[in-house]
Structure 1
Amino acid sequence: MKDIKYVRINEELIHVFDYVRYVYDNEIGDCFFHLDLIVTEVVIIKYVFDQEVKVSLVYNNGEEHTFTMLVQGVTEVGNAEIPILELCVKIDDPEKFQELKIVKWDTPLEEYSLGNNITIEEIRRIEMPNREVQFEATLPIDLEEWVYSNRHKISTILTEALTDYKNKKI
């Protein structure tokens, strides 16, 4: 079976930690090429269910295939789960995918699971998403004035301070 060297979605090269490919043959005889990818959270927040995307797969042997695929599943970001992007496209000729396993509608999909040895910490070391956080604090007046005068760089200051505090506590 050909190994995927890299993946581009909508012309953007993405970091892929693991993937699984198979042909799904449903109960009425339609066949679909499925591609499930473990990607970073920064990548996954760009996509929504039922979105159409252009996916280019470049294999180790130099071959390249491009498909217009539908997003079938997107892991929600922010709950420390491994981010999995599930893509599929209906295919007319499953013979073109003969190197892939054909999965029937009643086949248990457990054997097609991803990333049992990948942690969210490993993924976040590659690329970490940022989120806006709002909070209120009661501070002495001199600190409130200092925060106000440094408001343009407060995100950087807080990130550094909270990271130091978190690492000290662990």
Structure 2
Amino acid sequence: MAVVKSVKIDGECIHIFKSAIYIFESSSGITLVLDMIVSEVAVKKYRNVDTLIMEIELEDGRIINSIMYLKIFSGGLPQLHLFCELDGIQEYEDFDRVNENDSWFPNIEEDITIEEIRKVEMPNEDVSLKLKLPIDQVEWLKNQKKTGLNEMFKEFIYDYWKKSPSK
């Protein structure tokens, strides 16, 4: 069984939480598949990309360089599903094999939660608020820098959230 040690996408190291690399056999051919649990930030970064230049280092020291196609599945944990066609499988003899008729597929979502992923890389989202405030508070807010306001609201919300019984 082959185990992934590290992955570079377009020359950039990516943090993987769990992965599975295997050979998928179907009537249309043989495919090398790499499924990875990654952060939501990584999914967002590659969401609109069709193909990626991959460098996959295995624990036994082998390195696989390939252009792979990308699919992103919605629902569940954030993951990248990468695949490429293979001409031969001689160098992949120790990889797990999955046939299109099998009911078994590697389950990489087991034993990991979104909270654990977010501890490593928390995504940031833009948010717009409509508030009704006294004019002096509005004037004060308008005079603040965006980064300062972001930090202030982040701290305020975390403090309030920790005290909230409905958390």
TM-score w.r.t. the length of structure 1 is 0.88
Alignment gaps of 5+ in structure 2: none
Residue in structure 2 matched with residue 47 of structure 1 by the alignment:
46
Q: How far does the alpha carbon of each residue in 1:143-167 deviate from its partner, in whole angstroms, 9 at most, with x for none?
A: 2122112143211211111121112
- State whether structure 2 residue 92 is matched by structure 1 residue 61: no
CA contact (8 A) 1:48 1:74 kept: no
> Which SS does the other structure have where 1:154 is aligned?
helix
1:136 Cα offset (Å): 0.5
Alignment gaps of 5+ in structure 1: none
Of stretches 55-64 and 18-27 in structure 1, the one that deviates more from structure 2 is 55-64
The code of the aligned residue for 1:134 comes to S
CA contact (8 A) 2:2 2:95 kept: no
- State whether structure 2 residue 163 is matched by structure 1 residue 164: no
1:2 Cα offset (Å): 3.6
The code of the aligned residue for 1:15 comes to H
CA distance in 2, matches of 1:40, 1:141: 41
The code of the aligned residue for 1:35 comes to L
CA contact (8 A) 1:34 1:89 kept: yes
Aligned length: 164
> Which SS does the other structure have where 1:61 is aligned?
coil
> Which SS does the other structure have where 2:95 is aligned?
coil
CA distance in 2, matches of 1:38, 1:11: 19
